[in-house]
């Protein structure tokens, strides 16, 4: 084995890197266990504990120190299905945007075109902008589109003479801006909500934003938070000098009122430590004597009791020329550590404090911490006379862009206003410029910027400069644009996973993983003797590397992801089986163990790479076309294939080299397993027409069932609402179904979900309505129907809502993913084998497997005691089956190609070559399938109800795929290529005459 030193070095580096990546998860889990122990079951107390320690160093590596927040950002996060929480898909109402940009015209054809576009968008992926323009053109309207959008506010972009292409470009640009701005607003709102490891992303090519909030169970609060309209306002500000006296009064009042409250006298250790670090600054800001500093905890506690506000909110001061503290001019009146902002807010909300704050003073936080710090600034906002207290609202802005100052080349934001805004802006800036006061830009009660006004600004064109980064100006420009994009965001899909269901999923996933590891390891040792131990060590390294890489990628671990890890074990064993079967062949050919190992690895390499690459390509398709948990499965599958290749090829080889060097006995079989299927000579080619007939009959039955009975579609394919319900005792499904049918006045799907007292209810009642009122009505009817089961209390564990536009989108993407997978695999095989017959043979096998799998899901639905819904999990299973089917097929094809090249000068027909190739790979095909079947049976039994249908699909697919690889793919190559002048010849070899 060459480059052993380099491989050992890579193994060592990868091991250390994975340990480092996983260490953050170990640290955060320990901190969170401590928080639970401290809180004793009090959730608010646990959250306060974690908030207080967020900025504290909890992981010290010597050369680097990490706070809890930094560790949390680098841990391996759990998905919604494992941790519980809420998954929401927001849809930006671009139809409202189009109406607003046209100043809500009353034109009948305009509005009819827009309404039709909205309806059509529910069943197609085409954008509303494109659909609207197409519908307006088809309406026969004589007025140009430009005439609607050539308003004063849009004059920079559209005039009455603008072409249709110009209007389309303008609308698409504004739509993109609306989506980007909504993303920024939602991002900020979620950050303020305080969710650990949130995930928010724009679904590319759509007007939807996916939001995942692990651990969140207050659904009503989340809905209100996400669906509220963004409110952009401009406020005048108070100067720090004007407000500092008020803060002093608040501090004194708090000291008096808190003194009598016993539970607030003592401070937590973290607050005391934080006070120690900043005591000099605190004393200086209060005008105290810093020489009186003491490290006594009692003195620090006393100091905190005397100055409760200033112990967490540090006044905005600097050291003056005479060494005395002086107040910093401007609207910033103080700052606080992120972990202390909730305490400051609690102080300000106390009745005795609220009564002190004048009506024209509002204290608001900055949108984000200062650079490279955990400090948040507090601003004093001046509330003016009027309904909102703002001097100007954001709807006056016509455009905002991030640019560079031509003189200083620094990032700035340019802003344009309409005529009314320009007039008011001139008045406001004229007043502020007299005393060089600041104007605060506030969105959702958060200060994004508070620039000082240098001079009166006329014409409505302004430039906002400051200590900005490029990212800062992009964010601020997007915020300013929200003023002219008064479009709403509505929830079109949501899934709420109760924590008990999440814990059950974790237990099922962990149990299935552990049992699968044990089963696979026992089989490998039982069949391959000592070589099995080498494979087992490689499998352990594989799982470790896989988890470490997932952690370093910050991938979210989901239940399908755990299934991917379990399947990766089978993939890793697959490569070892190929190698060991080759080693056994070489030993039977008279090679010694060292030569057999060398030749075995050499000859198995082509089959290993081809088989794993085809599966990897399916993972790529899943990654780009999947969403939610399926992305987790795809990521795990792809990373797992890479790690399994590395461990199977290199680590197991290093183990063999170690054993050979020390002259240790190596064996790749027991006496009973040494000759499994040796000398097999089944006549697959001769009997191929029988197999063709069997497959055609099975496909015909499948198609009949598909077109007559159909499928039980999951809620993500048909839209609607689904609920997981748990009763105290077992229930009669027919009784529950009858009760719900009466309530909903339509057919309701009710299935057992796990144990006999747990069910899943799916209804299409109000399928097209996504409002909160519709949700409440459906939930009310559901509760009414469920309650009819007398003497059996129930609990709704989780719910999911999918709008029809989402369902259509998922359906289309699922279909494309299957087609693209087959095409990619066919192209890869064509490139590798240089003959279209191989691609056609693989395509025949994969299409056969897909149809049989679909047919079985149709036929068995309602017969087997578990869910066989066609949903996103099934799509992942379906594509995985295609990948594994081709995996087996490619191994046979590799042996056919090898045997053809060996057949030069040998009187053997093309059919005999193919038959021999199938028989010689039969042992490998069956053993590999068995290891995968063992793993999948474990998943099916112990993986939990959530993925039982998923495991069943892959289990059936492996059996069917093994059949098609042996009975259909290679025989199809024979029938397609037997009359070809090239395929039956060895590469670059001329036919030779053999004398009998």
Quote the CA–CA distance of 368 and 449 in Å, as a whole number.
Answer: 10
The pLDDT of residue 758 is above 70: yes
Mean pLDDT of 951-974: 90
Cα 603 versus chain centre, distance: 40
The 8-class DSSP code of residue 781 comes to H
The pLDDT of residue 573 is above 70: yes
Tell me what pLDDT residue 892 has: 85
Assign 24 a pLDDT band (cuts: 50, 70, 90).
very high
Helices 94-101 and 108-121 pack at an angle, to 10 degrees, of 160
Assign 454 a pLDDT band (cuts: 50, 70, 90).
confident
Mean pLDDT of 474-502: 69
Tell me what pLDDT residue 265 has: 39
Neighbours of 834 (CB within 10 A): 12
Assign 268 a pLDDT band (cuts: 50, 70, 90).
very low
pLDDT in tens, 909-928: 888 888 888 888 888 888 88
Q: For residue 438, what are the β-bridge partners?
A: 452
Quote the CA–CA distance of 160 and 146 in Å, as a whole number.
Answer: 5
Quote the CA–CA distance of 234 and 560 in Å, as a whole number.
Answer: 48
CB–CB of 94/207 below 8 Å? yes
Using a 10 angstrom Cβ sphere, with 0-12 exposed, 13-18 middle and 19 or more buried, the burial of residue 648 is: buried
Highest mean pLDDT among 36-45, 177-186, 734-743: 734-743
The 8-class DSSP code of residue 969 comes to I
Architecture of domain 720-801: 2-Layer Sandwich (3.30)
* DSSP SS3 for 111: helix
Assign 13 a pLDDT band (cuts: 50, 70, 90).
very high
Tell me what pLDDT residue 239 has: 92
Cα 439 versus chain centre, distance: 39
Please report, for the chain, the start and end positions of each structural domain, with discontinuous segments joined by +.
4-75, 89-209, 238-362, 498-665+682-708+809-977, 720-801
pLDDT in tens, 814-859: 777 778 888 888 888 888 888 888 889 988 998 999 999 999 999 9
H or E element in which residue 988 lies? none
pTM of the complete model: 0.69
pLDDT in tens, 112-162: 999 898 888 776 767 888 899 999 988 888 888 888 888 877 887 888 888
Mean pLDDT of 564-585: 81
Mean pLDDT of 43-57: 77
User: Mean pLDDT for the chain?
Assistant: 81
Q: For residue 442, what are the β-bridge partners?
A: 233, 447
The pLDDT of residue 979 is above 80: no
More confident residue, 698 or 887: 698
Quote the CA–CA distance of 375 and 385 in Å, as a whole number.
Answer: 32
């Amino acid at each position: 084995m060459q480059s052993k030193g380099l491989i050992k070095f890579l193994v060592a580096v990868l091991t250390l890197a994975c340990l480092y990546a996983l260490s953050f998860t170990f640290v955060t889990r320990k901190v969170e266990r401590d928080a639970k122990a401290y809180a004793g079951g009090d959730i608010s107390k646990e959250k306060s504990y974690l908030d207080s320690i967020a900025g504290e160093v909890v992981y010290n590596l010597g050369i680097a120190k990490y706070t809890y927040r930094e560790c949390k950002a680098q841990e391996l996060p759990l998905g919604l299905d494992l941790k519980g929480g809420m998954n929401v898909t927001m849809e930006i109402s671009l139809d409202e945007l189009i109406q607003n940009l046209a100043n809500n015209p009353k034109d009948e054809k305009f509005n009819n075109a827009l309404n039709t576009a909205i309806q059509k968008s529910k069943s197609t992926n085409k954008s509303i902008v494109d659909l609207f323009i197409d519908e307006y053109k088809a309406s026969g309207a004589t007025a140009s589109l430009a005439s609607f959008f050539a308003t004063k506010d849009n004059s920079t972009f559209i005039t009455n003479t603008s072409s249709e292409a110009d209007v389309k470009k303008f609308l698409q640009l504004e739509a993109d801006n609306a989506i980007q701005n909504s993303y920024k607003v939602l991002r900020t709102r979620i950050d303020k909500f305080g969710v650990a490891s949130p995930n928010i992303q724009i679904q590319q090519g759509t007007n939807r934003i996916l939001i995942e909030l692990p651990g969140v169970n207050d659904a009503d609060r989340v809905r209100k938070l996400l669906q509220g309209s963004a409110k952009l306002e401009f406020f005048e500000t108070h100067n720090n000098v004007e407000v500092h006296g008020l803060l002093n009064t608040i501090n004194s009042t708090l000291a008096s009122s808190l003194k009598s409250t016993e539970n607030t006298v003592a401070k937590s250790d973290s607050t005391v430590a934080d006070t120690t670090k900043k005591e000099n600054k605190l004393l200086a800001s209060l005008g105290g004597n810093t020489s009186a500093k003491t490290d006594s905890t009692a003195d620090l506690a006393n100091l905190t009791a005397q100055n409760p506000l200033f112990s967490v909110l540090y006044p905005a001061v600097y050291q003056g020329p005479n060494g005395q503290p002086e107040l910093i001019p401007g609207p910033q009146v103080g700052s606080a550590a992120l972990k202390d902002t909730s305490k400051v807010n609690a102080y300000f909300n106390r009745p005795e404090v609220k009564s002190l704050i004048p009506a024209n003073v509002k204290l608001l936080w900055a949108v984000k911490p200062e650079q490279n710090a955990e400090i948040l600034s507090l601003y004093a906002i001046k509330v003016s006379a009027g309904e909102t207290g703002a001097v100007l609202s954001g709807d006056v802005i016509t455009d905002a862009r991030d640019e560079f100052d031509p003189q200083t080349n620094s990032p700035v934001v340019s802003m344009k206003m309409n005529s009314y805004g320009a007039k008011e802006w001139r008045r406001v800036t004229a007043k502020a410029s007299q005393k060089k006061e600041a104007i605060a830009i506030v969105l959702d009660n958060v200060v994004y910027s508070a620039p000082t006004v240098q001079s009166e600004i006329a014409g409505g064109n302004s430039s906002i400069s400051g200590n900005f980064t490029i990212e800062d100006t992009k964010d601020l420009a997007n915020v300013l644009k929200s003023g002219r994009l008064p479009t709403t965001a509505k929830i079109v899909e949501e899934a709420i996973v109760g924590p008990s269901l999440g814990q059950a999923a974790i237990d099922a996933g962990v149990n299935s993983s552990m049992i699968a590891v044990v089963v696979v390891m026992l089989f490998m040792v039982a069949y391959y003797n000592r070589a099995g131990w080498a494979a087992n060590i490689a499998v352990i390294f594989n799982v470790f590397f896989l988890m470490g890489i997932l952690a370093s990628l910050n991938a979210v671990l989901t239940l399908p992801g755990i299934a991917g890890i379990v399947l990766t074990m089978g993939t890793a064993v697959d490569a070892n089986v190929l190698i060991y079967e080759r080693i056994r062949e070489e030993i039977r050919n008279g090679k010694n163990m060292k030569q057999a190992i060398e030749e075995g690895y050499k000859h198995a390499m082509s089959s290993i790479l081809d088989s794993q690459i085809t599966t990897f390509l399916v993972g790529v398709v899943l990654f780009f076309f999947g969403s939610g948990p399926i992305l987790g499965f795809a990521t795990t599958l792809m990373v797992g294939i890479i790690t399994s290749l590395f461990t199977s090829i290199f680590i197991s080889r290093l183990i063999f080299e170690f054993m050979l060097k020390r002259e240790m006995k190596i064996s790749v079989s027991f006496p009973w397993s040494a000759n499994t299927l040796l000398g097999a000579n089944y006549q697959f080619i001769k009997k191929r027409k029988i197999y063709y007939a069997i497959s055609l009959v099975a496909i015909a039955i499948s198609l009949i069932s598909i077109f007559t009975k159909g499928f039980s579609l999951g809620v993500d394919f048909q839209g609607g609402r689904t609920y997981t319900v748990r009763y105290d005792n077992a229930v009669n499904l027919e009784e529950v179904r009858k009760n719900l049918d009466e309530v909903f006045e339509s057919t309701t799907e009710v299935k057992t979900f796990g144990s006999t007292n747990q069910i899943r209810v799916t209804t299409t009642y109000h399928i097209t309505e996504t409002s909160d009122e519709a949700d409440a009505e459906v939930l009310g009817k559901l509760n009414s129907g469920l309650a009819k089961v007398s003497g059996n209390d129930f609990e709704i564990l989780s719910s999911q809502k999918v709008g029809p536009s989402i369902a259509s989108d998922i359906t289309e993407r699922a279909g494309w993913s299957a087609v693209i997978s087959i095409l990619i695999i066919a192209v890869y095989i064509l490139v590798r084998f240089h003959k279209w017959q191989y691609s056609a043979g693989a395509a025949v096998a994969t299409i056969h497997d897909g149809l049989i799998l679909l047919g079985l899901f149709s036929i068995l639905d309602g017969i087997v005691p578990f869910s066989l819904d066609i949903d996103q999990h099934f799509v992942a299973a379906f594509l995985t089956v295609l990948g594994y089917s081709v995996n087996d097929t490619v191994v046979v094809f590799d042996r056919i190609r090898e045997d053809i090249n060996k057949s030069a000068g040998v009187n053997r027909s093309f059919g005999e070559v193919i038959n021999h190739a199938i028989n010689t790979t039969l042992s490998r095909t069956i053993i590999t399938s068995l290891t995968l079947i063992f793993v999948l049976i474990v998943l099916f039994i112990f993986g939990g109800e959530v993925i039982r249908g998923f495991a069943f699909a892959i289990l059936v697919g492996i059996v069917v795929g093994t059949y098609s690889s042996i009975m259909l793919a290679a025989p199809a190559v024979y029938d397609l290529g037997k009359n070809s002048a090239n395929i039956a010849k060895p590469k670059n070899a001329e036919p030779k005459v053999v004398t009998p």
